[in-house]
Amino acid sequence: MALSANDVTVRLSMNEGVSELVQRLDALSPDTVSELVLRNCRIRDTANLCKQIARCVGLRCLSCVACTIPPSQLIKFTLVQLQHLEHLELSLFEDSKAAVSRERKKVRRIVSEMRAVAVTHTLRRVYVEVGGDHNFRLLRRLLNTCLNVTELHVHLVRGTFSKALKKCQRLHKKRLQLEVFVFTSELPASAKMTYKTDPSSLFENCATICANVRRKRSDDSWSCAELGHLVRSSDRAHNLPSQVVVFAVSDLTVTSLREETHGHLWKNVRELCILLLPEDPSSVLYPKAGPAHREGLVQLSLVLDCIAELNVSSFHFRPDVSLDRLLQKSPLGHRLLALSAPPCWFQSQSSVRMLTISCPNLSDLDVRVISRGGLLSCDTCHNLLFNTGAVQESSDAATLLSTSIVRLTLCEVPYNVQLWFFQYYGAAVTLRVSEWRFVGSPQYGHLCELFHKCGAIRCLLLQHHDLPINEEHLQASLSRLTSLQHLCLLTSMKVSDDDASKFVRDFVAQSAQLKCLHLHYRKRSSEQRVTWLRNQEQVSLRQGPCFACCSTATFIGLAKPVNRDCVADL
């Protein structure tokens, strides 16, 4: 929501409580506060919190994502106390079917009791995080209290992608008053692509391409388009939006890429995602582009005057194609602030070294294989696992160490290839490493030892199916990261609640600088979550919402969710 220069914003960090909010409001005139940001605030006394929010009588924007205020309490409070609110952000994260059912009953009563208020309320924009399949029923009930909402953004945090897709498709179809509908997801698009031509299937098509879609009803515009359709379009002169997803099937021709640079105007495109997908939706392999396609991308890069983010994580190349020229000999490299690409774009240590020269302003580098829930793979990326060349200590490594990098993400990247990125991007403040592949032992402890060379790390996320959070070597290595403030450990291994609690107690006792610790693990067949915050209470919260850093997804070049970055709290 856009606010004017005269508007006052008040924020609480994840480790602050009601007393800090009282101090900030007392220092201001509360009726001048137009925006209140309470993301990740785990405050138990929600009644007192709501009392303080109510002091902001002119409030127009309220963000309670990953906050502990129950949805029914928040929506009733909004209708009764916040008469001028236009924008609301919240989370639906209850795992228990019974708890969701209780919330639905409370909201149903609110709908029946406060319909007259809801009809005239000013609320127009809603952003909601949904964690778990049951919560979509609660979302539907909540929207019955938001009768004038014209913009809805649903962000899927966990659950079943295919079920969430159907629920959102139904919302999009039935809520005709929605002028803008946005769907984003932490989960990959694990449903099979359809490439249907039926206009009624556009939402499904876009969402299954990249789990990220924005639709504007008034001009029937979508954030996702097929390249061939753009080339064939009769309206070749209109400007593309600032954020766009363009996909092509494997029959992509270089002519298509070159024609596109002379057609639609790309001058406004700031965030771009390009995908090369198999022509046959049942294929299990990504198509691989060759040198001619590289040259087509070079031509396209020349017209991207405003580009800042590029996502090519689903655009794979053959092993004989060097991509150095794409970034090195065009203005693209110097413009990029964020890049997401697959490992096959970096087939040697020298290619990573070259990236620091070609893209000197990168603050966010994301290298990943998007397997779409195991539906697609890339031979070139996979074979990097067997690259036996030793990591070379380059004589100019120190001078080429990226100083602009803030966040480095490595997902499903072979362990040996990760070492190349640590050498040149070790200055990252936030490091996310997920499901790395290896030959032989998993190297958990040794990997953490390497993090010591990355002395700037203040936020670390480690995710692996077999991550042993109880392993002493792993714990000892992590505890030596003396700058670490936020730690997320995600494993699918079975861990007892007692062992998880012991890990939390032992680790925070050794880490005086730690602000937050967040764990995911399995107990029997269910996922368990524990969050510890160094606030006044210093207690562990079980099964609460995931906090900001608990995300392994990339939104480079895509529509962005809120609350997926912890930089403000570092």
Task: Name the H helices within 324-378.
Answer: 324-328, 332-335, 349-358
Domain end marker among 120, 149, 178 = 149
Lookup result for tokens 């997320």: 488
Q: What is the pLDDT of residue 143?
A: 94
User: DSSP assignment, residue 339?
Assistant: E
User: Taking residues 421-449, what's their average pLDDT?
Assistant: 84
User: Taking residues 489-505, what's their average pLDDT?
Assistant: 92
Mean residue pLDDT across the chain: 87
| Spatial distance between the Cα atoms of 86 and 106, rounded to a whole number of angstroms | 23
State yes or no: pLDDT of 437 exceeds 60: yes
Q: How confident is the model at residue 536 (pLDDT cuts 50, 70, 90)?
A: low
State yes or no: pLDDT of 281 exceeds 60: yes
The DSSP H or E segment spanning 204 is helix 202-210
User: Taking residues 410-428, what's their average pLDDT?
Assistant: 92
HEC letters along 106-128: HHHHHHHHCHHHHHHCCCCEEEE
Q: Tell me the two tokens of residue 215.
A: 């639709």
State yes or no: pLDDT of 396 exceeds 70: no
Contacts (Cβ under 8 Å, ≥6 apart) of 435: 411, 412, 463, 464, 465
Q: What is the pLDDT of residue 346?
A: 93
User: Taking residues 375-403, what's their average pLDDT?
Assistant: 75
Q: What is the pLDDT of residue 1?
A: 54
pLDDT over 90, % of the chain: 52
User: DSSP assignment, residue 512?
Assistant: T
Residue at 125 is within a domain: yes
Residue 446 to residues 90, 416, 419, 475: CA-CA distances in angstroms?
A: 39, 12, 11, 12
State yes or no: pLDDT of 198 exceeds 90: no
| Spatial distance between the Cα atoms of 520 and 463, rounded to a whole number of angstroms | 9
Q: What is the pLDDT of residue 14?
A: 84
Residue 270, φ and ψ in degrees, nearest 5: -110, -35
Q: How confident is the model at residue 266 (pLDDT cuts 50, 70, 90)?
A: confident
Q: How confident is the model at residue 332 (pLDDT cuts 50, 70, 90)?
A: confident
Rounded-to-10 torsion of CA 364, 433, 448, 503: 120
Query: Which amino acid is it at 452?
Result: H
Domain range for 49? 1-149
Q: Tell me the two tokens of residue 3.
A: 């606010």
Q: What is the pLDDT of residue 239?
A: 79
Report the chain's terminal Cα–Cα distance, integer Å: 24
Question: Looking at residue 129, which CATH number applies to its domain?
Answer: 3.80.10.10
Residue at 245 is within a domain: no
The DSSP H or E segment spanning 398 is helix 397-400
As to burial, measured by CB atoms within 10 angstroms (0-12 exposed, 13-18 middle, 19+ buried), residue 527 is: middle
State yes or no: pLDDT of 156 exceeds 70: yes
Cβ atoms of 79 and 113 within 8 Å: the answer is no
pLDDT digits (tens, 9 = 90+) for 90-141: 999 988 899 999 999 999 999 899 988 999 999 999 999 999 899 999 999 9
Q: How confident is the model at residue 34 (pLDDT cuts 50, 70, 90)?
A: very high
Q: What is the pLDDT of residue 541?
A: 78
The DSSP H or E segment spanning 182 is strand 180-185
State yes or no: pLDDT of 71 exceeds 90: yes
Q: What is the pLDDT of residue 197?
A: 62
State yes or no: pLDDT of 373 exceeds 80: no
State yes or no: pLDDT of 250 exceeds 70: no
Task: Name the H helices within 480-523.
Answer: 497-510
Q: What is the pLDDT of residue 51?
A: 94
State yes or no: pLDDT of 60 exceeds 70: yes
User: Taking residues 43-49, what's their average pLDDT?
Assistant: 89
Residue at 375 is within a domain: no
State yes or no: pLDDT of 4 exceeds 60: no
Cβ atoms of 142 and 113 within 8 Å: the answer is no
Residue at 162 is within a domain: no
Among 64-73, 167-176, 293-302, 530-539, the range scoring the smallest mean pLDDT is: 530-539
Residue at 49 is within a domain: yes
Q: What is the pLDDT of residue 480?
A: 86
Residue at 537 is within a domain: yes
User: Taking residues 505-513, what's their average pLDDT?
Assistant: 89
Q: What is the pLDDT of residue 566?
A: 67
Query: Which amino acid is it at 333?
Result: G
User: Taking residues 73-80, what's their average pLDDT?
Assistant: 93
State yes or no: pLDDT of 444 exceeds 90: no
Residue at 454 is within a domain: yes
Residue at 361 is within a domain: no
Among 20-29, 182-191, 292-301, the range scoring the smallest mean pLDDT is: 292-301
Q: Tell me the two tokens of residue 212.
A: 């990220």
Domain end marker among 149, 181, 202 = 149
If one counts the domains in the chain, the total is: 2
Q: What is the pLDDT of residue 264?
A: 62
Residues present in the chain in total: 570
Lookup result for tokens 């079975």: 494
Lookup result for tokens 């890049």: 339
Does residue 233 sit in helix, strand or coil?
A: coil
Q: How confident is the model at residue 254 (pLDDT cuts 50, 70, 90)?
A: low
DSSP string, 268-334: T--EEEEEEE-SSTT-SB--EE-HHHHHHHHHHHTT-TT--EEEEEE-EE-TT---HHHHHSSTHHH
State yes or no: pLDDT of 471 exceeds 90: no
Domain end marker among 125, 149, 173 = 149
State yes or no: pLDDT of 196 exceeds 70: no
